[in-house]
């Protein structure tokens, strides 16, 4: 790779990581091309970017950014999964895929300003994403309304029985 190609690759990585505040990192050594394509299609279905990266060039691209601390995990063949404003879905897909494909290993990640190890990414994958959290909150609000309406209806029926 000549100097111009390296500069273009660094610019490409800067564009890839621009506006991203979380990333999941996987070790792809020993992973077949078919397996990489399979996991890539799972990520793509959810609107997640998945790329195998060149470590040295990615480190240069991330220098001085919020994601710079994650560069310490860039050793060996590495792939990154990232989606703006959603750290949970990439973690969930990567962890689920790693369970069924032992050659695909989740190395770590970065979310909420902290570097995560594999266990941290696993914990992140078990959290609710933004839409799931909103749905749970709305169900709490709806449950209170339903309980309140049922309570009023029961009181009204009790009063009607007492009057009759």
For 18, list phi and psi in degrees, rounded to 5.
Answer: -65, 125
Closest CA to 25 of 63, 92, 82: 82
Within 13 A of 95's CA, how many CA atoms are on the CB side? 19
pLDDT tens sequence for the chain (164 residues):
788 999 999 999 999 998 888 899 999 988 999 999 999 999 999 999 999 999 999 999 999 888 999 999 998 899 999 998 888 999 999 999 999 998 999 999 999 888 999 999 999 999 887 777 778 777 777 777 777 777 778 877 877 777 76
In whole angstroms, what is the distance from residue 59 CA to residue 74 CA?
8
Q: What is the pTM of this model?
A: 0.76
Chain mean position to CA 157:
50
Alpha-carbon dihedral 95, 100, 105, 109, rounded to 10 degrees: -10
* Other residues' Cβ atoms within 10 Å of the Cβ of residue 32: 12
DSSP lists the bridge partners of residue 108 as: 25, 117
Structure letter (DSSP) for residue 69: G
| CA end-to-end distance (rounded Å), the chain | 92
Q: What is the DSSP string of 141-153?
A: HHHHHHHHHHHHH
In whole angstroms, what is the distance from residue 98 CA to residue 153 CA?
52
């Amino acid at each position: 790779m000549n100097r111009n190609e390296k500069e273009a690759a660094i610019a490409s990585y800067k564009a890839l990581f621009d506006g991203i505040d979380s990333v999941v990192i996987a070790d792809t050594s020993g992973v077949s091309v078919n397996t990489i394509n399979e996991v890539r299609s799972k990520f793509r279905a959810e609107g997640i970017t998945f790329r195998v990266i060149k470590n040295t060039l990615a480190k240069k691209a991330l220098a001085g950014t919020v994601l710079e601390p994650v560069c310490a995990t860039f050793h060996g063949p590495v792939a990154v999964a990232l989606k703006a404003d959603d750290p949970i879905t990439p973690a969930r897909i990567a962890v689920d895929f790693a369970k069924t494909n032992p050659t695909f290993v989740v190395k770590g990640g970065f979310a909420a300003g902290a570097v995560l190890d594999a266990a941290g990414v696993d914990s992140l994958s078990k959290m609710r994403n933004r839409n799931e959290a909103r749905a749970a909150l709305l169900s709490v609000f709806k449950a209170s309304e339903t309980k309140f309406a049922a309570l009023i209806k029961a009181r009204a029926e009790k009063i009607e029985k007492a009057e009759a």
